[in-house]
Amino acid sequence: MGIRVDTEKCTGCGTCQPACPFGLIDIIDEKARINVAGCNLCGACKDACVYEAIEIEQTVVQVPASDEYRGVWVFAEQRNGEIKGVAYELLSKGRELADTLKTELCAVCIGYNVKDVAQLNAHGADKVYVIDDPALASQTEDPYVAELTRLIREHKPEIVLAGATPFGRSFFPRVAAQLKTGLTADCTGLDIDTEKKLLRQTRPTFGGNIMATIICPLKRPQMATVRPRTFRRNAPDANHKGQIIKIDFNKSAVISKTRLLNFVADMSEKVKLDDADIIVSGGRGLGKPENFQLIRDLASALGAAVGSSRPPVDEGWISYPHQVGQTGKTVCPKLYFAIGISGAVQHLAGMQTADCIIAINDDPDAPIFQVATYGIVGDLFKIVPMLTESLKKG
């Protein structure tokens, strides 16, 4: 792709100059000159030019035939042989996508001594491709990139999903690069454009201020990563039968540039928000750090974990591992208390899939009430101690 000015047609009138959002156009010797190095080919100058003197050359991309790529795939990540929860969450969403597209859902599990592979079938996979080999135990990326790329090239799925875990974020883009296709990272929503049969991949952008829906119309497969706990995990269905297909590890084809010397678990994080069934979160409405004790007391009465919106973390009232939201944790508990939290989109991004949300806020118009299952309008300093006391009395 490129942009050029037809100097025969250009009159040097300058109407293109203000149209360029990046100020890349100069008029020199009565002709427009575009600084192509900074140009993203948005076409605003072309649209502004009444003399049709600006041309953008498009590279013709071969769109794959609609039936060449079929099926929705989920990369089922494991560590030390245990399949991660995000794999089941993605299969639950993947089942919906596959049913909409009237195609099959497959899981790919790569590792060593992986347990409970049949659970992937019970969570919706029609086929599970398993590559199990001692050489895959250390989970260095190169063999995973090579093997997933090989399987995708062979079977041609139209959609491939992976968890936005540290491993997924690192190895999955390398697979996309090998396949020369697009990848949308950290999606918070996935659905199908039924007319065009495209995956609509929604994620926060511009610092979380807007949600962008991204499509990949010209390349296959369409690839996306999704943060753990973004989608609800369906209950397993033992009646959903599927195939387990064992594939030999193609060791000779893998050139590994890395070697695992040691693995040191991160013990710094003691707050187990991810696994909590009940979370009690406090926000800026608490006013000062000491008041977080109200949240801790209620959490202790309920046997719950303590969460927070971002301002108390920024103010140093509570540490970062407690933060729920776009730049904190994504959680999906059975019960979530939002106390003195307004319900900004960045907070909702981390908790809105909770089964039941109870909001306590003195502003009846606070956006949190739009997602709350139950809303209590009133002063948290009166309501929370009353709740804690009555729970303690049992």
Ligand X SMILES: Cc1cc2nc3c(=O)[nH]c(=O)nc-3n(C[C@H](O)[C@H](O)[C@H](O)COP(=O)(O)OP(=O)(O)OC[C@H]3O[C@@H](n4cnc5c(N)ncnc54)[C@H](O)[C@@H]3O)c2cc1C
Backbone angles phi, psi at 95, to 5 degrees: -60, -45
| Sequence-distant contacts of 136-141: CB under 8 A, at least 24 apart | 136/110, 136/111, 136/112, 136/249, 137/111, 137/112, 137/113, 138/260, 139/79, 139/111, 139/167, 139/260, 140/256, 140/258, 140/259, 140/260, 141/167, 141/170, 141/171, 141/174, 141/258
What is the side-by-side order of every strand in the sheet holding 374-377? 305-308, 278-282, 335-339, 356-361, 374-377
256/291 with CB nearer ligand X = 291
- Choice between 10 and 318, CB closer to ligand X: 318
Q: How far apart are CA 217 and CA 60, in angstroms?
A: 13
CB of 287 to ligand X, least distance (A): 7
Cβ distance to ligand X smaller for residue 207 or 394: 207
Q: How far is the CB of 189 from ligand X (least distance, A)?
A: 17
Nearer to ligand X, 237 or 363 (CB): 363
Nearer to ligand X, 67 or 365 (CB): 365
| Both structure tokens of 209 | 């201020």
- Closest residue to ligand X, based on beta-carbon distance: 325
Q: Which residues bind ligand X (CB under 6 A)?
A: 207-208, 283-285, 309-311, 323, 325-328, 340-342, 344, 346-347, 350, 360-363, 366, 379-381
The answer to whether the peptide bond before residue 221 is cis (omega within 30 degrees of 0) is yes
Minimum CB–partner distance for residue 323 and ligand X (Å): 6
Pick 157 or 285: Cβ nearer ligand X: 285
How far, CA to CA in Å, does 102 sit from each of 115, 224, 240, 324?
Answer: 29, 20, 16, 36
CB of 253 to ligand X, least distance (A): 42
CB of residue 162 to ligand X, shortest distance in Å: 22
- Least distance (Å) between residue 348 CB and ligand X: 9
